């Protein structure tokens, strides 16, 4: 079997899909994207395709080594995301060629279902209690919210009170038998995080995500030591070596993104590394159906898995939804807040190629918000 073509499709709301075809007619799909830099990743996929054409797609590990290392310069979000999508497609092809789901190739399922959570509140969180109640009605048993919108460099007493009161409102809406996670989105400095996290502890958030920017791994331990809330991070980390300092700092939950951190091949190794630190895996995935399918395949086969993010109804999905690009929506159903074990071959998702090609005729140019402080200086989004 040989790879004959690699194609990419920019589709709304902010995603990039890749399609890898073989001379035996087997097609694999992947989702290589950096949100807001989709065109840049698309160019990287095009460059990397030179290393794939004519090669046997079933040699997944060998191709991963070549894709990540053959150009001398390594790592970073663009290259790692391009590799991630191609890696997903190669695993998809291998599973289809052998007529087995990817989780079976990873050693087999260790669970029969995967718990998932949904987003509430948006970038500037508001009406979170009502939104949480709606998610519970849809079947979810866990939600995630931003701790705050735009913040000053050192949050005021009023801003801190607002964070606590919003979380309290969600806790009241969902009760004590369900979970809420809080995303700091790197908007807090170390001192601010150390101040806020103890105040959230009585409300028992599942975890606090990315309390400080990934540029400061040397300060992450200071946050962990001051926090009674489990700390999670990893959406902006791209390899085992990126995750090692975070694990050494004592984070409880790692959140690699299957479309950023080298795909299935690297994330399963990140999960194994995390297990040696007694940390849990909760893959980041505010993206499309292929990224979610790849995440689920890893979740099905990973012992130290905690919970899976999914983007159905997320505030970024303007103009298209995750289920718009799949032929069979039923595998993504979560009536009890869980997605049941998939048995379809490959990634287990059937992409609606007609819908993808039609959507790609009007490619998106999504960009993240640009925030500024009151004095006009740049503010973290």
Quick one: three-class SS letters along the chain?
Answer: CCEEEEEEEEECCCEEEEEEEECCCCEEEECCCCCCCHHHHHHHHHHHHHHCCCCCCCCHHHHHHHHHHCCCCCCCHHHHHHHHHHHHHHHHHHHHHHCCEHHHHCCCCCCCEEEEEEEECCCCCCCHHHHHHHHHHHCCCEEEEECCCCCCCCCCHHHHHHHHHHHHHHHHHHCCCCEEEEECCCCCCHHHHHHHHHHHHHHCCCCEECCCCCCCHHHHHHHHHHCCCCEEECCCCCCHHHHHHHHHHCCCEECCECCCCCHHHHHHHHHHHHHCCCCEECCECCCCHHHHHHHHHHHHHCCCECCEECCCCCCCCCCCCHHHHECCCHHHCCCCCEEECCCCCECCCCECHHHHHHHCCCCCCCCCCCEECCCCCEECC
State the residue for tokens 């297990």: 275
> For residues 297 and 315, what is the distance between their CA atoms, to the nearest angstrom?
25
CB 17 within 8 A of CB 352: no
> For residues 269 and 264, what is the distance between their CA atoms, to the nearest angstrom?
9
Supply the residues annotated as catalytic.
185, 284
> For residues 343 and 101, what is the distance between their CA atoms, to the nearest angstrom?
6
């Amino acid at each position: 079997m040989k790879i004959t073509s690699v194609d990419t499709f920019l589709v709304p709301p902010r995603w990039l899909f890749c399609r890898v075809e073989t001379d035996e007619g087997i097609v694999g799909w992947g989702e290589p994207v950096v949100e807001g830099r989709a065109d840049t990743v698309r160019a990287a996929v095009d460059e990397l395709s030179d290393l794939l054409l004519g090669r046997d797609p079933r040699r997944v590990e060998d191709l991963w080594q070549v894709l990540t290392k053959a150009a001398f310069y390594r790592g970073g979000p663009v290259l790692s995301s391009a590799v991630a999508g191609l890696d997903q497609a190669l695993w998809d092809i291998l599973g289809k060629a052998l007529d087995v789901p990817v989780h079976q190739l990873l050693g087999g399922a260790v669970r029969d279902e995967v718990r998932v959570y949904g987003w509430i509140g948006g970038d500037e969180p508001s009406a979170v209690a009502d939104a949480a109640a709606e998610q519970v009605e849809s079947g979810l048993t866990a939600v995630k919210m931003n701790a705050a919108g735009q913040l000053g460099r050192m949050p005021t007493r009023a801003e801190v009170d607002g964070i606590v009161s919003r979380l309290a409102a969600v806790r009241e809406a969902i009760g004590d038998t369900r979970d809420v996670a809080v995303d700091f989105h790197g908007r807090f400095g170390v001192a601010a995080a150390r101040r806020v996290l103890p105040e959230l502890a009585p409300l028992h958030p599942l975890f606090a995500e990315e309390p400080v920017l990934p540029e400061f791994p040397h300060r992450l331990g200071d946050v962990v030591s001051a926090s009674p809330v489990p700390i999670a991070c990893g959406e902006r980390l791209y390899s085992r070596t990126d995750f090692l300092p975070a694990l050494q700092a004592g984070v409880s939950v790692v959140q690699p993104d299957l479309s950023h951190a080298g795909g299935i091949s690297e994330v399963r190794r990140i999960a194994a590394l995390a297990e040696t630190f007694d940390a849990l895996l909760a893959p980041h995935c505010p993206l499309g159906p292929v990224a979610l399918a790849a995440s689920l395949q890893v979740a099905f086969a990973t012992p130290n898995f905690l919970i899976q993010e999914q983007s159905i109804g997320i505030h970024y999905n303007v103009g298209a939804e995750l289920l718009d690009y799949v032929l069979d929506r039923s595998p993504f159903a979560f009536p009890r807040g869980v997605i049941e074990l998939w048995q379809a071959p490959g990634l287990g998702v059937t992409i609606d190629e007609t819908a993808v090609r039609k959507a790609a005729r009007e490619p998106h140019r999504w960009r993240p918000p640009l925030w500024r402080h009151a004095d006009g200086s740049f503010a973290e989004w």
